[in-house]
Amino acid sequence: MPRKLLLLPPLSVSSAFRAPRACPAARPAMNAARTGYRVFSANSTAACTELAKRITERLGAELGKSVVYQETNGETRVEIKESVRGQDIFIIQTIPRDVNTAVMELLIMAYALKTACARNIIGVIPYFPYSKQSKMRKRGSIVCKLLASMLAKAGLTHIITMDLHQKEIQGFFSFPVDNLRASPFLLQYIQEEIPNYRNAVIVAKSPDAAKRAQSYAERLRLGLAVIHGEAQCAEMDMDDGRHSPPMVKNATVHPGLELPLMMAKEKPPITVVGDVGGRIAIIVDDIIDDVESFVAAAEILKERGAYRIYVMATHGILSAEAPRLIEESSIDEVVVTNTVPHEVQKLQCPKIKTVDISLILSEAIRRIHNGESMAYLFRNITVDD
């Protein structure tokens, strides 16, 4: 029996089939919303939000709405007050004296934004905490590596920082790290604010800082001096159990375990390599925290004939009695950037001056959000800066 073919009427373009064609027109609006960005401050104190406000003013944006506070039991609570779904979020966190609280604020805010479906979470941390603990010291720990792992676990996908204490710290992270430099701003300050800077000499207060000082000297076409023999922040020669088991005169030791006797280190007398007589001495470093070594270096330079002494550093932590010691010392001026809030220290010591670095941080935010190259921010920057 022949089969009968069932002929269907031709399909008409109905409204049900026109709806998908409207979707491409709607996608640009969705993408426009997804490519937005917000800037948040992970600290609610006025001193710490100052840098965040400067950055947002340069970007022409508003600071994100959030609440960060400490409960009565000491716990940190963070509340995000606006939608961040599908957006690039930049968290600006300056590190005050209470370092551990600042770290927890950053971690909790990053995790809150992650659970709120932010697309990318970029931490803007001008001074990276625990950067001095980036090497193994006896039976200690590499705390900087631990902090890098915690930030990645909390949800950060990128970090913008400035003048890491050790550039190798970037290898601790599993995501990109942009280590910006403050040297262009400090060099500009030297050229514009120090009278007769051509008669200056760049000084490294220890051999460890010689590379940075050499980079500054070559940029400014100035001389270089190095203070050698100053006490270093090295491991203390203390009995920590490494000589255990105790050495016994009649003890039997396997011949294969006999090690050559190492001579103890002896620090040479303090000398200044380079001529500073009748010159302006400019001491450069990345961090100025405990100022005893800077004060001692200034006294030595004064004895060698330097008639004016400046200290230039990126991060002005200025802990403990630093303002008083600077005020009473031979140092004429201490110049630091605003990576760390130090308004209280400036009130205590008028010798402390501040250089604003919000320009380069805001430009880094703009370039990362727009997917532009960061190479422009590193032009003429050497590895030793």
Same-domain status, 118 and 166:
yes
Domain match, 104 and 201 both = no
Q: Which of 138, 155, 180 is a domain's end point?
A: 180
pLDDT digits (tens, 9 = 90+) for 261-309: 667 667 777 889 999 999 999 999 999 998 999 999 999 999 999 999 9
Residues 295 and 313 occupy one common structural domain = yes
**Which of 26-30, 230-234, 296-300, 315-319 shows the lowest mean pLDDT across its residues?**
26-30
In a domain, 375, yes or no: no
> Which residue type sits at 193?
E
Least confident of 112-116, 165-169, 257-261, 336-340: 257-261
Q: Establish if 247 belongs to a structural domain.
A: no
Least confident piece of the model among 133-147, 238-252, 346-360: 238-252
Distance CA 228, CA 236 (A): 19
Whether 297 is in a domain gets the answer yes
- The stretch 177-181 carries a mean pLDDT of 95
| Residue 174 included in any domain | yes
**Is residue 217 domain-shared with residue 273, that is, in the same domain?**
yes
Domain with 155, as residue range(s), is: 38-180
* Band of pLDDT at residue 17, cut at 50, 70 and 90: very low
pLDDT of 249 over the 60 cut: no
Measured distance CA(377)–CA(180) in Å, rounded: 8
Question: With helix as H, strand as E and coil as C, how does the chain read?
Answer: CCCCCCCCCCCCCCHHHHHHHHHHHHHHHHHHHHCCEEEEECCCCHHHHHHHHHHHHHHCCCECCEEEEECCCCCEEEEECCCCCCCEEEEECCCCCCHHHHHHHHHHHHHHHHHCCCCEEEEEECCCCCCCCCCCCCCCCCHHHHHHHHHHHHCCCEEEEECCCCHHHHHHCCCCEEEECCHHHHHHHHHHHCCCHHHEEEEECCHHHHHHHHHHHHHHCCEEEEEECCCCCCCCCCCCCCCCCCCCCCCCCCHHHCCCCCCCCCCCCCEEECCCCCCEEEEEEEEECCCHHHHHHHHHHHHCCCCEEEEEEEEECCCCCHHHHHHHCCCCEEEEEECCCCHHHHHHCCCEEEECCHHHHHHHHHHHHHCCCCHHHHCCCCCCC
Q: How far apart are CA 156 and CA 124, in angstroms?
A: 10
* Terminal Cα distance for the chain, rounded: 92
Q: Which residue has the tokens 């790290």?
A: 177
Same domain, 45 and 101: yes
What's the CATH number where 317 sits? 3.40.50.2020
Looking at the fold, whether 214 and 330 belong to one and the same domain comes out as yes
Residue 54 domain-assigned?
yes
Mean per-residue pLDDT for 313-319? 94
Q: What is the pLDDT of residue 35?
A: 52
131: in domain: yes
pLDDT tens per residue, range 40-92: 999 877 777 899 999 999 999 999 999 999 999 989 999 999 999 999 999 99
**Residue 211 pLDDT exceeds 50:** yes
Asked if 147 and 224 sit in the same domain, the reply is: no
Token reading at 353: 């001056």
- When divided into structural domains, the chain yields a total of 2
Note whether 203 and 287 are same-domain residues: yes
pLDDT for 244: 54
Q: Tell me what pLDDT residue 241 has.
A: 52
User: Is residue 84 located within the same domain as residue 227?
Assistant: no
Identify whether residues 117 and 196 lie together within a single domain.
no
pLDDT of residue 47: 76
The larger pLDDT score, comparing residue 234 to residue 374, is at 374
Pairing of strands 200-204, 223-228: parallel
Q: Kindly state whether residues 206 and 107 are assigned to the same domain.
A: no
Given a cut of 80, is residue 182 above it in pLDDT? yes
| Mean pLDDT rounded to a whole number for the chain | 85
Q: Which residue has the tokens 């280190």?
A: 265
The verdict on residue 169 lying in a domain is: yes
Question: Over 90: is that where the pLDDT of 356 sits?
Answer: yes
Same domain, 162 and 192: no
pLDDT at 3: 53
Question: Would you say residue 236 has pLDDT above 70?
Answer: no
Let me know if residue 227 belongs to a domain.
Answer: yes
Contact 331, 309 (CB under 8 A): yes
